[in-house]
Structure 1
Amino acid sequence: MGNGKVALILTCLIFVIFFTSCVAKNSPVQHGSLIYKSNDYALCKLEKEGSFAQLATIHLGDKKWVWKIEDANNINTLREDSFVAIPLKEKNMGGLFENGYQSVPILCYHKFGTDRSSPLTIPSHVFNQQMKYLKDNGYRVISPKNLLDFLEYRGQIPKKSVLITMDDGYRSVYDVAWPILKKYEFTATIFVYTNYVGISKKAMSWEDLRTLKAHGFTIGSHTVSHRDLTQKQPDETADTFYNHIKEEVFLSKKIIDRELSQDTICLSFPYGRYSPDLLKIAESVGYRMAVTVERGSNPFFSNPLALKRDMILKKDMKSFISRLKTFNNLSLK
């Protein structure tokens, strides 16, 4: 027998021994629809029609993790005999992929209804179209906590994540926007300035905000009086200006904390304006995340205290869709 054939036989024997040992260690587990499980993945073959939510409940402990299964599989509906991969570990924290990196758009709204005199008002039917587009196209509305985990490289988020925010605390958020958000199983982050809460029928009350919070909304600060935190008034010295600004961000947090029994960590800068000193003040009083109105979306290496955010003012869908950039193409090989 030639040396070449001996070498080939030895190679084959080594492969067989290695493969056998692997099978012994990682043999498939037969348990209902589960046919294989490793430390990283579970592989299921459906015996009857099911849903990703059912698989998330069984294998990940809660249906809220359904997006992990949907992101890992390229099928939209489950049929009998479908094979489904279920990731059991966090993957792509920071949203880094070979062909680019993830970014999170933050949408900014104010009022809703039929008031055509204000450019800040979005008609209810337009808002419904926008939310329907998000739902129909696989976008996931996340919370500030989810976004903060992503920014601090602590947790994975859905590939098509978006954060919805609403500034000031108008009552139309409660009356008009909330029923539409509820229809699509979305929530939002509400930024209120405390002097406006409960001031009239056009403003939300603290009880309204407590109700929204109980239904999964996040309530953040928009300061006390909504003054421009970057502009010193003529009668202010440098010291009094600094103290007034600190009071705006500190006192609003203190009031919201007391009224809603929470630790308020999110801040929206009035008019979206900020300065380096303001960022230091915001961090010093306990905010961990703050938003501007600078256009663009946010990759994980963004500054959590100066996040970009798009104001939704135009009423056409083309403009809305242009604000939904969730991926940046870039070869990372």
Structure 2
Amino acid sequence: MKKKGVIVLSCLFLVFIVGFASYLFYKKENTKEAPQALVTEKEYTPIYSVPSPYTEREVKGYLTKDTEYRNYIAFNQDWWRVAVGNDVGYVPRKETKIASATAVKNQSLTSAFEGETFLVKKATPIYRSMSKTSKKIGEFDQRTQIEAKDTDKDWMEVNVGGLIGYIPKDSVEKQNGVPVLMYHHLLKDEENHNFRGVSTTITPEAFDEQMKWLHDNGYTAITLKELEPYIQGKKALPEKSVVITFDDGIISSRDYAYPILKKYGFKAENFIITGRIPKESKPFNPDRLDFLSYQDMEKMKDVFSFGSHTNALHSMNEENKRGMITQLPYEQVLADFNQSRQALPAHSSYFAYPFGHLNETSVQAVKDAGFTLAFTTQKGYVFPGDNPLLLNRFGIGPDITLEKFQEIFK
């Protein structure tokens, strides 16, 4: 009898354990946090190409009300960064909210969206399906660069905020634009002791390989003086045009880049931090960053032109990691830009934003200092009609293999 009672109690205990475990599992499944989505509270919320609304031209498109966007991250306290094609745009946080997502899972995209580059000819709604009667999930502004996939005879597939949408094929045109390449520092592997893993340092061998590929494939390295009327819509360029730029004016551009560019007959722009120009030319030392002198620039002027990278504001605010040109009063920024421009050979009209950081104040100062072209670090091509003070570039770092380099020109 005792044995039978023990068996019964054991069975009851087992039933209790199984039941309790099932309860915990059910509770966990029904109380776990729901997926989150970015939702706009306005009928149309602008997507900007950079995190500040400078001009209407710099609006890439719009998010629409009551659409749940899945591919977004916080850029800072004021801006969300959202996926637009295989690129990004910026949305004001004050015009959006985060809500529990209800969208069907397969309607969202979190991985990279690889499409071809097109230019939007006119303001174009983005539809949920290949029908103009379906829900609008966004809109592209006129002259926006987008990545799109050719999936139907009448429709292109696009990505906005992590959602797959569709636009009429006749609303875009294939236009490659001009790629502007951005380099910084060149060092051989065996002499690179202090800059390994730095995203702006590549080998002279890699640079030579890239320049050789451009040369062998018939590309023309145009100057910024030639690019400017192209942007204004006043001049056509050779079909295979490219712009080569260097930031910072580091001596390695003298010892490595200059002879390679000269070998292939290419021109380039070097954006100089004028406050760092030494009085005399220095010998190359791979263990430190030294900068070009006026004597160096004079000897290199058959290949390089020299633009501004500020006079003494190529630095960051250590608290928020933002470039100092975005942190200081307009008058101080303008004074620095004027000083830099006057210190440059030929008082160049061309500028590059340090670290790609900019705001409305710095863009206005660039304009008022007399610069006519200014370059960001935002990835993309340059087209006629682009804002000349917010031009795209392709940064070339050690992660850019020759195959990835070639993809820029497809």
Q: What TM-score results when the alignment is normalised by the length of structure 1?
A: 0.61
Tell me the SS of whatever aligns to 1:132: helix
Deviations 1:209-241 (A, max 9, x none): 12222x042110000121324442xxxxxxx62
The structure with the greater share of residues assigned to strand is 2
Q: Given that residues 126 and 315 in structure 1 are in contact (C-alpha distance below 8 angstroms), is that contact kept between their aligned partners in structure 2?
A: no
Aligned-partner Cα distance in 2 for 1:120–1:164: 15
Aligned-partner Cα distance in 1 for 2:402–2:272: 27
State the partner residue of 1:288.
372
State the partner residue of 2:252.
172
Given the alignment of the two structures, is residue 246 of structure 1 paired with residue 326 of structure 2, yes or no? no
Tell me the SS of whatever aligns to 1:195: helix
Deviations 1:82-134 (A, max 9, x none): xxxxxxxxxxxxxxxx9633401110000112225233211111111100110
Aligned-partner Cα distance in 2 for 1:270–1:218: 18
Given the alignment of the two structures, is residue 205 of structure 1 paired with residue 259 of structure 2, yes or no? no
The structure with the greater share of residues assigned to helix is 1
Tell me the SS of whatever aligns to 2:229: helix
Aligned with 2:311 (options 219, 224, 242): 224
State the partner residue of 2:183.
109
Tell me the SS of whatever aligns to 1:156: coil
State the partner residue of 1:305.
389
State the partner residue of 1:275.
359
Tell me the SS of whatever aligns to 2:337: helix
Aligned-partner Cα distance in 2 for 1:108–1:248: 23
State the partner residue of 2:232.
152
Q: Give the direction of change, closer, same or farther, for the CA distance of 1:216–1:182 in structure 2 (3 Å limit).
A: closer
Q: Give the direction of change, closer, same or farther, for the CA distance of 1:204–1:251 in structure 2 (3 Å limit).
A: same
Q: Structure 2: where are the runs of 5+ without partners? A: 1-171, 284-289, 316-322
Q: Given that residues 296 and 323 in structure 1 are in contact (C-alpha distance below 8 angstroms), is that contact kept between their aligned partners in structure 2?
A: no
Aligned with 2:406 (options 318, 321, 325): 321
**What amino acid maps onto 2:336 in structure 1?**
E
**What amino acid maps onto 1:220 in structure 2?**
G
Q: Given that residues 326 and 358 in structure 2 are in contact (C-alpha distance below 8 angstroms), is that contact kept between their aligned partners in structure 1?
A: no
Aligned-partner Cα distance in 2 for 1:179–1:146: 22
Task: Please report how far the alpha carbon of residue 323 of structure 1 lies from its aligned counterpart in structure 2 after TM superposition.
Answer: 2.5
Q: Structure 1: where are the runs of 5+ without partners? A: 1-97, 233-239, 326-333
Q: Given that residues 279 and 305 in structure 1 are in contact (C-alpha distance below 8 angstroms), is that contact kept between their aligned partners in structure 2?
A: yes
Number of aligned residue pairs: give it. Answer: 216
Aligned-partner Cα distance in 1 for 2:222–2:200: 23
Task: Please report how far the alpha carbon of residue 301 of structure 1 lies from its aligned counterpart in structure 2 after TM superposition.
Answer: 1.7
Tell me the SS of whatever aligns to 1:243: helix
Q: Given that residues 326 and 359 in structure 2 are in contact (C-alpha distance below 8 angstroms), is that contact kept between their aligned partners in structure 1?
A: no
Deviations 1:308-331 (A, max 9, x none): 011101241122122335xxxxxx
Tell me the SS of whatever aligns to 1:318: helix
Q: For 1:11-26, what aligned pairs fall within 5 Å after superposition?
A: none
Aligned with 2:269 (options 170, 181, 189): 189
Q: Given that residues 102 and 159 in structure 1 are in contact (C-alpha distance below 8 angstroms), is that contact kept between their aligned partners in structure 2?
A: no
Q: Given that residues 334 and 368 in structure 2 are in contact (C-alpha distance below 8 angstroms), is that contact kept between their aligned partners in structure 1?
A: no
CA RMSD of aligned residues (A): 1.9
Task: Please report how far the alpha carbon of residue 299 of structure 1 lies from its aligned counterpart in structure 2 after TM superposition.
Answer: 1.1
State the partner residue of 1:21.
none
Q: Pick 1 or 2: higher relative contact order, CA cutoff 8 A, min separation 6.
A: 1
Tell me the SS of whatever aligns to 1:191: strand
Aligned-partner Cα distance in 1 for 2:369–2:173: 39
Aligned-partner Cα distance in 2 for 1:307–1:153: 15
Tell me the SS of whatever aligns to 1:147: helix
Aligned-partner Cα distance in 1 for 2:309–2:249: 9
Return the index of the structure with the highest Cα Rg: 2
**What amino acid maps onto 2:187 in structure 1?**
G
Aligned-partner Cα distance in 1 for 2:396–2:260: 16
- More moved, 153-162 vs 274-283: 274-283
Task: Please report how far the alpha carbon of residue 249 of structure 1 lies from its aligned counterpart in structure 2 after TM superposition.
Answer: 1.2
Deviations 1:22-77 (A, max 9, x none): xxxxxxxxxxxxxxxxxxxxxxxxxxxxxxxxxxxxxxxxxxxxxxxxxxxxxxxx
Overall identity of the aligned pairs, in %: 31
Task: Please report how far the alpha carbon of residue 137 of structure 1 lies from its aligned counterpart in structure 2 after TM superposition.
Answer: 1.1
Q: For 1:25-44, what aligned pairs fall within 5 Å after superposition?
A: none
Tell me the SS of whatever aligns to 2:246: strand
Task: Please report how far the alpha carbon of residue 277 of structure 1 lies from its aligned counterpart in structure 2 after TM superposition.
Answer: 2.6
Aligned-partner Cα distance in 2 for 1:229–1:321: 34
Aligned-partner Cα distance in 1 for 2:401–2:174: 29
**What amino acid maps onto 2:306 in structure 1?**
I
Q: What TM-score results when the alignment is normalised by the length of structure 2?
A: 0.50
**What amino acid maps onto 2:307 in structure 1?**
G
Aligned-partner Cα distance in 2 for 1:277–1:252: 17
Task: Please report how far the alpha carbon of residue 182 of structure 1 lies from its aligned counterpart in structure 2 after TM superposition.
Answer: 0.9
Aligned-partner Cα distance in 1 for 2:377–2:265: 26
**What amino acid maps onto 1:271 in structure 2?**
F
**What amino acid maps onto 1:319 in structure 2?**
K
Aligned-partner Cα distance in 1 for 2:201–2:339: 29
